[in-house]
Amino acid sequence: MRRSEQTRAEDTLLRDTSRRFLEDTYAWDEGRLRRADRAAHWRSAAELGWFALGLPERLGGLEGDGNQLLSILEEAGRVLHDAPLLANVLLAPKALSAMNEAVAIPLAEKLAAGEIRFAYVPDGSLHLSRSTMRLEGKGSLALGAAEATHWLVAVGSRSADGASLLLLPASDAVRRADSRLIDGRSASTLYFEDLAIPDDAVLARGETAFRLLEELNDRAVIGACAEAFGALEGGLELTVDYVKQRTQFGAPLSSFQAVQHKMAESFCEIEQMRSLLLWGAVALEGSPDERAQAASALKVFLGREGLTAASRCIQVSGGIGLTEDYRIGHVYKRLQTVSALFGSTEAHIARLGDLFIPSTQHET
Amino acid sequence: MDAFFTADEIAFRDEVRAFIRENLPTDLAQKTRDGIHLAREDMARWNTILDKRGWAVHHWPTEYGGPGWTPIQRFIFEAECASGDAPPLSVFGLYLVGPTIYTFGSSEQRARYLPGIRSGETFWCQGYSEPDAGSDLAAVRTTARKVEGGWIIDGSKAWTSEGHFADLMICLARTNPNVKPQAGLSLFIVDMKDKGISLQPVITIDSGHSVNTTFMDNVFVPDDGLIGEVDKGWTYAKFLLSHERTNNAQVHRSRREFTRLKDLAAALPGSGGGRLIDEPAMCRRFTLVEANLVSLEITVLRVLADQTEGREPGPEASIVKIIGSELQQRITELAMEVLGEEGIKAEHEGDSLLAQEAQGWTERHLFRRVVTIYAGSNEIQKTIIARSVLGM
């Protein structure tokens, strides 16, 4: 259990190694995409153990805890990483843990080695017919679906009756509308039109699937917020450095109290978000209720205070904050993106309300 | 938030909870629920009960009577006291004066003053602020002049909370006018019964009397009333502030009040026939406060966990006063929304739930404007963060 971000030595080592690797090979600048060899980068990440970290020992994994997994995503967020790490670091290991071992072991090996890639396809309007085993409907935006080899598809997530979790090989037979998101990442909407689903593609159904889908989506929320948090923390550091150097009216911007207070306010919000992230990390292994509360609280905080903190950074940076060549705008776009994914801010406020405020109306 | 606590800590929580259930008199709990300014006897009664169990000075070192708890245990203890509606203990004696005396005082001062604080028999007040030295504490003008066998203090102190029933004051006075403002201050123990002391009540916007202006005219303090060394008062005062950073967040009081407010909004009817709390706009506001409250709780816990586990707390320690005080105000602002028209009446008639609850909430709401001002206004806290944490 970690109640402070000042954690034990191996955590610090993992974080420092990750940060160095990312800054050496994938630091953010406007030319990164042209230069980067993304396939080689993914292999290096696998060699560092990023995809084995979340797997249990029985699947050949390193059995890392929530803080360790989130620290990788945070560090990736700092450099505004654009590859689909979230699904492969935090979600696929969980789904594989829930599978039959005979099937899971070879998949886990390949995931750990960086040879296969998963994408998480959140539920949109998906429906799997129990009688015909045909899948209909569309998913919500799925990060990295175009470059994935396997799709984890959440179906019928609104009720235990219709819920199932599918593992499908990525296929051109499925209609895919690819989009570039405002934060530079790629995502796709998948349209399933009467697709036949073999029995062995169904990892879970009914009540078990319902609980697993909730867990996967909470993990997606917590992980995406960890990435956004890393971006925001890096963004505040960048902005504080900038206002110390930028001179107007004969003095550095950092000497003006109006600017100081804005940065202090953003600092307060970022530290509170770090607190919620610590909660999210322990809650990844906690009870379903606690995990749901932590995930939704984090998402709500990110979509409100987090975005406010980022917008203040643009404000004090002035005109340069509006330019595509400068990083802070991309931090803002990352936060805006995360706040729309895996359930909107308002949707999570409503969910949190149901969890926090016991309602007689909901009990019926 | 149970995931944050160990099994031992949960067991400790149960022990504290059971003790409070069995030992807190019901009338004291009711008084705590009803108003914000408790009488001296009420606070003393609970202090004495805790002292018999060895829990009154729970944050003091064992050599001065503390129970030897970790900071996390103290967090749990305070949370349980708040949720059981135990009266708040006197802030000045337990949190300010006690630690000042056992850290900087002489062994005679420790023997003379600490037992009274521990048992709740002696009440203290704080004489730091002045009419012209509020947030700018270094501007203190009260003087202490050396005379044979002691000091003569002259000046006035502002915002003396509980001064009208305190026995003693810890007083910051200027002993050296010829050095920079912070360097010439000293800390004294002043007897509030001295004939040179007079008090003028200050009625706050909640119509309550808890603070005073204290005038000191030729007040004699013997030599053994000086704490530590002369001219070191500023250093002592700052040392203590840095060691009691989490107390200002009032996180447990906020949790308790928010729970009570939720209960109230669940008991009141909404306009559509259901419960007030189930109206979407109301539910949304409660939810947003909850998200902020839980983030405050964890932030405080982070600071205490660092202390428990032997680390120097990180920069988050500097934000708890700001976010804790803002949250206290948000809770009572929400209470006013819940109370509606009942909340704006100066007197409340009848025995309806609304009438019974309104008085306390309205008082709290008005008086709580103070929390973003006292203990270093939030603007000062922000400037400190910008300078010392962000290096601006």
The arithmetic mean of pLDDT across residues A143-156, rounded, is: 97
User: How far apart, in whole angstroms, are the C-alpha atoms of residue A60 and residue A111?
Assistant: 11
Shortest alpha-carbon distance between residue B6 and chain A (Å)? 8
- Identify the CATH number of the domain in which residue A187 sits: 2.40.110.10
Which residues in chain B touch residue A282, judged by CB atoms under 8 angstroms apart? 3-4
Judge whether B80 counts as a catalytic residue.
Answer: no
Residue A2 inside a domain? The answer is no
Instruction: Note whether A48 and A179 are same-domain residues.
Output: no
Interchain CB distance below 8 Å, B291 and A352 = yes
A16/A72 same-domain check: yes
Residue A205's SS3 state is strand
Residue B371: helix, strand or coil by DSSP?
Answer: helix
pLDDT in tens, A70-90: 999 999 999 999 999 999 999
Identify whether A276 is part of a domain. Answer: yes
Residue A364 has pLDDT above 70, yes or no: no
Q: How many CB atoms lie within 10 A of CB A289?
A: 11
Element (DSSP H or E) covering residue B327 = helix B320-339
CB < 8 Å to A353, chain B: 283-284, 286-287
Residues A163 and A306 grouped into a single domain:
no
Domains in chain B: boundaries: 2-89, 124-231, 245-389
Tell whether A213 and A349 lie within a shared domain: yes
A86 with A124, same domain: the answer is no
By the 8 A CB rule, do A187 and A181 touch?
A: yes
**Domain residues for A193?**
118-197
* pLDDT score of B164: 94
Window 321-340 of B: residues touching A by CB (8 A cutoff) are 322-323
In angstroms, what separates the C-alpha of A15 from chain B's closest C-alpha?
17
Residue A203 counted as domain residue: no
Q: What is the ipTM of this complex?
A: 0.93
Q: Report the SS3 class of residue B263.
A: helix
Q: Which residues of B touch A3 (CB under 8 A)?
A: 4, 72, 301-302, 305
Give the distance from residue A36's alpha carbon to the nearest chain B alpha carbon, in angstroms: 33
Mean of pLDDT over chain A: 94
Q: Which of A67, A93, A113 is the last residue before a domain boundary?
A: A113
Q: Does B9 touch chain A (CB under 8 A)?
A: no
Which chain A residues are within 8 Å of B264, Cβ to Cβ? none
B215-270 pLDDT, tens digit per residue, is: 999 999 999 999 999 999 999 988 776 666 677 789 999 999 999 999 999 999 99
Q: Is A352 on the interface with B (CB under 8 A)?
A: yes
Tell me: do A109 and A122 sit in the same domain.
no
Interchain contact A257–B (C-beta under 8 A): yes
Comparing CB atoms, the residue among B283, B295, B385 nearest residue A267 is: B385
The identity of residue A142, as a single letter, is: A
Is there a single domain that holds both residue A103 and residue A242?
no
Nearest to A275 among B6, B275, B302 (CB): B302
Task: Give A316's contacts in chain B (Cβ within 8 Å).
Answer: none
Q: Does A264 touch chain B (CB under 8 A)?
A: yes
Distance separating alpha carbons of residues A92 and A86, to the nearest angstrom: 9
Which residues 234-263 of B have a C-beta within 8 angstroms of A? 262
DSSP A200: G
Closest CA to B83 of B260, B245, B246, B327: B260
Based on the domain organization, do A50 and A177 belong to the same domain? Answer: no
Report how far apart, in Å, the C-alpha atoms of B69 and of each of A232, A307, B101, B299 are: 37, 39, 20, 20
Q: Is A240 near chain B, with CB under 8 Å?
A: yes
What is the C-alpha separation between B289 and A344, in angstroms, rounded?
A: 18
Spatial neighbors of B127 by CB under 8 A, at least 6 apart, are B142, B157, B160, B169, B170, B171, B172, B190, B214
A271 vs chain B: nearest CA distance in angstroms? 6
Name the class of domain B245-389. mainly alpha
B106-160, pLDDT tens digit by residue? 999 999 999 999 999 999 999 999 999 987 888 999 999 999 999 999 999 999 9
Contacts of B266 in chain A (CB under 8 A): 357
Instruction: Tell me, yes or no, if A304 comes closer than 8 A to chain B by beta carbon.
Output: yes
If you write DSSP's letter for every residue of B151-202 in order, what string do you get?
EEEEEEES--TTGGG-SEEEEEEES-TTS-GGGGEEEEEEETT-TTEEEEEE
Query: Does any domain span residue A202?
Result: no
B313 min Cα distance to partner chain A (Å): 9
CB within 8 Å: A272 and B382: no
- Cα atoms in the Cβ-side hemisphere of radius 13 Å centred on B63: 6
Contact A261 B309 (CB under 8 A): no
At A30, the pLDDT band (50, 70, 90 cuts) reads: confident
Nearest to A7 by CA among B306, B301, B298, B9: B306
B124-231 CATH pick, 2.40.110.10, 3.30.70.2190, 3.10.580.10, 3.40.50.720: 2.40.110.10
Q: Which of A39-43, A117-121, A349-353, B89-93 has the lowest mean pLDDT?
A: B89-93
Please state, in angstroms and rounded to a whole number, the distance separating the CA atoms of residues A56 and B315.
35
Kindly list the residues from chain B whose CB atom is less than 8 angstroms away from the CB atom of residue A301: 291-292, 295
Chain A residues 276-295 with CB within 8 Å of chain B: 276, 278-279, 282-283, 285-287, 290, 293
Among chain A residues, CA nearest to B259: A357
Q: Among A113, A142, A159, give the residue marking a domain's end.
A: A113
Instruction: Find the distance separating the first CA and the last CA of chain B, reported in whole Å.
Output: 35
Please report whether residue A154 resides in a domain. Answer: yes
Domain count, chain A: 3
Confidence bin at A362 (pLDDT 50/70/90):
very low
Chains A, B: CB contacts under 8 A, how many?
144
| Each residue's pLDDT tens digit, B356-388 | 899 889 999 999 999 999 888 999 999 999 999
Contact between chains at B298 and A276 (C-beta distance less than 8 A): yes
Compute the average pLDDT of residues A271-291.
95
**Chain-centre distance of CA B182, in angstroms?**
24
Same domain, A25 and A138: no
Tokens 């995990």 correspond to A291
- Does residue B388 or residue A363 have the better pLDDT? B388
Residue B188 touches chain A, beta carbons under 8 Å: no
Report the mean per-residue pLDDT for chain B. Answer: 93
d(CA A228, CA A220): 12
The reported pLDDT for the residue numbered B242 is 65
Catalytic residue among B9, B121, B244, B279: B244
Closest CA to A75 of A227, A184, A221: A227
At A3, list the tokens. 């109640």
> Pick from A197, A229, A251: which residue ends a domain?
A197
| pLDDT surpasses 80 at B14 | yes
Kindly report the nearest CA distance between residue A182 and chain B, in angstroms: 27
Residue A4 lies in a domain: no
- Closest to A96 (Cα-Cα) out of A63, A126, A140: A63
Dump strand ranges (E) for chain B: 124-127, 143-147, 150-157, 168-174, 185-191, 197-203, 209-222, 226-227
pLDDT, position B99: 93
Calculate how close chain A gets to B183, using CA atoms only, in Å. Answer: 26
What's the rounded mean pLDDT across residues A286-306? 97
Same domain assignment for residues A43 and A156: no
Task: Check whether A363 has a pLDDT greater than 90.
Answer: no
**CA angle at residue B177 from B174 to B178, to 5 degrees?**
145
Average pLDDT over residues A337-354: 97
Task: Average the pLDDT over B280-303 and give the result.
Answer: 95
Same domain? For A258 and A285 the reply is yes
Considering only residues 298 to 317 of chain B, which have any Cβ-Cβ distance to chain A shorter than 8 Å?
A: 298-299, 301-302, 305-306, 309, 311, 314-316
- Across the interface, which of B6, B323, B392 has its CB nearest the CB of A254? B392
| Closest to B142 in 3D by CA, of B126, B151, B155 | B155
Chain A residues with CB under 8 Å of B383 CB are 257, 260-261, 264
The confidence score (pLDDT) of residue A359 equals: 64
Cβ pair B45, B37 in contact under 8 A: no
CATH number at residue A100: 1.10.540.10
CATH code: domain of residue A329: 1.20.140.10
Q: For residue B116, with 0-12 CB atoms within 10 Å meaning exposed, 13-18 middle and 19 or more buried, which class applies? A: middle
If you average pLDDT over residues A190-209, what whole number do you get?
96
Residue A125 and residue A18 in one domain: no
Mutation target among A296, A356, A361, A362 for the B interface, most CBs of B within 10 A: A356
A351: phi then psi, degrees, rounded to nearest 5: -65, -45
Q: Other C-beta atoms within 10 Å of A24: how many?
A: 9
Region B36-53 average pLDDT: 91
